[in-house]
Amino acid sequence: MRMRTANKILIRGTRRRSATIIETVAAIIILSVALPTLLTAYGEASHQSIRPYQQSIASMLAIERMEEIVARRYRGTDGYSAVTTSNFPNESPISGFTTFSREVSVSFVDAGLNPAGSDQGYKLVKVKVIGNQTDIEIERVFADF
């Protein structure tokens, strides 16, 4: 049965469709269970994406320091005797990279790279860069010849 009122047609038995309160509560419950898991996964993914970036910076800083040591070793006046820990002090923090520190260690080794108590013509140089998420260590042997 149709009724006309003010240019509107009303049809009996038809209603506007909208979300009920039960459907709204069910959606909130589902979101409250699923959302923390999704946010945790997103946080871990973003944390993992930063790690390679931090490692590449640490690697670059270690290589930079080792290149300084190599340059000092092969400089005409200093040579092998300039490769000492005192000539390359620890840096904490590294200038321009406040979340990183850098350590240099120089030790005497023999021809078999075993630790030696005195200078036998070989020095093992280790450069270690420590960051908030990564540690990088590189080493090189210098010979006195």
Q: Indicate if the pLDDT at residue 11 is higher than 70.
A: no
pLDDT in tens, 36-83: 888 888 888 777 778 888 899 999 999 999 999 999 888 867 788 889
Q: How confident is the model at residue 14 (pLDDT cuts 50, 70, 90)?
A: low
User: Could you say which DSSP state residue 13 is in?
Assistant: T
pLDDT in tens, 99-141: 999 999 999 999 999 999 899 999 999 999 999 878 999 999 9
Query: Once rounded to an integer, what is the mean pLDDT over residues 26-37?
Result: 89
Task: Show contacts of 66-71: CB within 8 Å, 24+ apart.
Answer: 66/125, 66/127, 66/138, 66/140, 69/104, 69/125, 69/127, 69/140, 70/140
Full-model pTM: 0.66
CB 72 within 8 A of CB 87: yes
Which alpha helices (H) appear in the chain, and where do they start and end? 21-73
Q: Report pLDDT for 12.
A: 58
Q: Report pLDDT for 66.
A: 95
Q: How confident is the model at residue 4 (pLDDT cuts 50, 70, 90)?
A: low
Q: Which of 2-6, 16-20, 43-47, 138-142 has the lowest mean pLDDT?
A: 2-6
Q: How confident is the model at residue 5 (pLDDT cuts 50, 70, 90)?
A: low
